[in-house]
Amino acid sequence: MEEILSTFGQIDLVNGMYGKEHVFTSGSQQVQEAVRTYLIRVLTEEDVFRLGSFGKLAPEAHPGQVHHCILSGLRLCRHETRPKLVADLKDIGMLDPDFPALDQLVPVPGTVSFTTLDRWGPVYRVFVDRLADTFFPTANTNCLVMSVADFGILGIRHFSDPGEVQVLLEELEDLLPEFSMMKTWQAEIKECATTLAESHLYNEVDVAAMMAVGSACLLPMGQLPGHIQSELSYAAYVKQKEKRDKNVYGVPIQGHHIHLLYKGLLQAIETVVPVGKIPMSEWELIRRILRMGVLFQMECSIWRQVHMKPRAGGKYLFFARRFRAAFWRFAKKVGIALLVAAPFLIRKCFLSLRRVLAQRASGLASP
């Protein structure tokens, strides 16, 4: 019966990173308990190096002492907001001058983020952007599943819990009572926490020891069959190109990559073989929840595409917008050039006018 009920539950419409989003909560008690028990992380290149060399997972080091609420707040905001926050926090002395500017897609130091099993799909989709302009986006992606029961005294906060998010917002307000960006920051924290359901770890964890007792496992995406890797890599490249086309042309993307990515992830989770010295006892349940979360995200993506309001003009409007964006870029450059050259043009016109007036005056004076 649990197998039947696991895809039934409550669907809420909430404010997330991308505006209004649907969030699914399974009606199965078994699934709910597993979501609270296990977390998953898409590993960065730095994580893979540490795990391969030392068998441990640790936050990136950073200069100076920084309150945990600031580190979590910097992680739970949009990429374009982070550099502004860092600059302002440095101005008021809350961050060391050598603290990373966070103006690129690099990890926020001082924290390691995990997400719940049912939010793996959206987090994987966000992570794909870190692999932009590189080859092998699928082969270089690994995931780590861990049991939170073994975290204990390690120090971890679960921002999938709205109550914990509220505590974070209050901590920031108490620590930075006059901070100019506080309202914007708090709004983004609530939206990102809703979409990503992150948990933040602030200390080192011995992953090898956990894998040795069956409380953690690795999911190496690079060991998937070729046809699945091909689909995931294609979807990743399309996503990266669509996002960069939006930045270049100013044209809203339609998200055509999303259902391709989720289709590949569904195949991946059915096929991937977890790596660990002792198999995780609830791996099949974990696999089912990962599949359930990705399936729901794919359903949302397909629903949006089907119900998307057709735009008049179709592809002609698309090219017209690109032409308009290109024209305004050209006009902006011309305008800047004219503005720079204006003093010289005005001087030249003035000299030409004075010369003409002098010639006319000399002509009138001659007999």
Q: Which of 82, 64, 65 is nearest to 73 (CA)?
A: 82
Question: Are the C-beta atoms of residues 118 and 293 closer than 8 Å to each other?
Answer: yes
Mean pLDDT of 38-61: 93
Mean pLDDT of 323-349: 71
Can you give the pLDDT at residue 362? 67
Question: Are the C-beta atoms of residues 176 and 182 closer than 8 Å to each other?
Answer: yes
Can you give the pLDDT at residue 249? 46
- pLDDT single digits (tens) 259-300: 788 989 999 999 999 999 898 999 999 999 999 999 999 988
Can you give the pLDDT at residue 160? 94
Q: Find residue 43's DSSP bridge partners.
A: 142
Q: Position of tokens 């979501």?
A: 35
CA distance 95 to 89: 6
Higher model confidence: residue 242 or residue 53? 53
Can you give the pLDDT at residue 348? 75
The rounded mean pLDDT for the chain is 84
CA distance 247 to 173: 33
Higher model confidence: residue 121 or residue 5? 121
Can you give the pLDDT at residue 7? 67
Higher model confidence: residue 320 or residue 56? 56
Q: What are phi and psi of 140, to 5 degrees?
A: -95, 15
Can you give the pLDDT at residue 246? 60
> In the structure, what pLDDT confidence band is assigned to residue 98 with cuts at 50, 70 and 90?
very high
Distance of CA 256 to the CA centre of its chain: 17
- pLDDT single digits (tens) 139-185: 888 999 999 876 554 678 999 999 999 999 999 999 999 899 999 99
Structural Rg of the chain based on CA atoms: 27
Can you give the pLDDT at residue 345? 72
SS (H, E, C) the chain: CHHHHCCCEEEEEEEECCEEEEEEEECCHHHHHHHHHEEEEEECHHHHHHHHHHCEECCCCCCCCCCHHHHHHHHCCCCCCHHHHHHHHHHCCCCCCCCCCCCCCCCCCCCEEEEEHHHHHHHHHHHHHHHCCCCCCCCCCEEEEEEHHHCHHHCEEECCCHHHHHHHHHHHHHHCCCCCCHHHHHHHHHHHHHHHCEEEECCCEEHHHHHHCCCEEEEEHHHCCHHHHHHHHHHHHHHHHHHHHHHHHCCCCCCHHHHHHHHHHHHHHHHCCCECCCCCCCHHHHHHHHHHHHHHHHHHHHHHHHHCCCCCCHHHHHHHHHHHHHHHHHHHHHHHHHHHHHHHHHHHHHHHHHHHHHHHHHHHHCC
> In the structure, what pLDDT confidence band is assigned to residue 125 with cuts at 50, 70 and 90?
confident
* pLDDT at position 131 over 90: no
- pLDDT single digits (tens) 11-23: 999 999 888 888 8
Can you give the pLDDT at residue 327? 65
CA distance 108 to 67: 13
Can you give the pLDDT at residue 251? 46
CA distance 160 to 155: 16
Confidence (pTM): 0.78
Mean pLDDT of 126-136: 78
How much of the chain, in percent, has pLDDT values that exceed 70? 82
Can you give the pLDDT at residue 242? 75
Q: Which two three-digit tokens encode residue 288?
A: 């089912």
Mean pLDDT comparison of 136-140, 165-169, 349-353, highest-scoring range: 165-169
Q: Which two three-digit tokens encode residue 124?
A: 């994987």
CA distance 45 to 31: 31
Question: Are the C-beta atoms of residues 207 and 53 closer than 8 Å to each other?
Answer: no
Q: What are phi and psi of 23, to 5 degrees?
A: -120, 130
* pLDDT at position 234 over 80: yes
Question: Are the C-beta atoms of residues 145 and 223 closer than 8 Å to each other?
Answer: no
CA distance 60 to 104: 15
Mean pLDDT of 193-204: 93
How much of the chain, in percent, has pLDDT values that exceed 90? 52
Higher model confidence: residue 328 or residue 252? 328
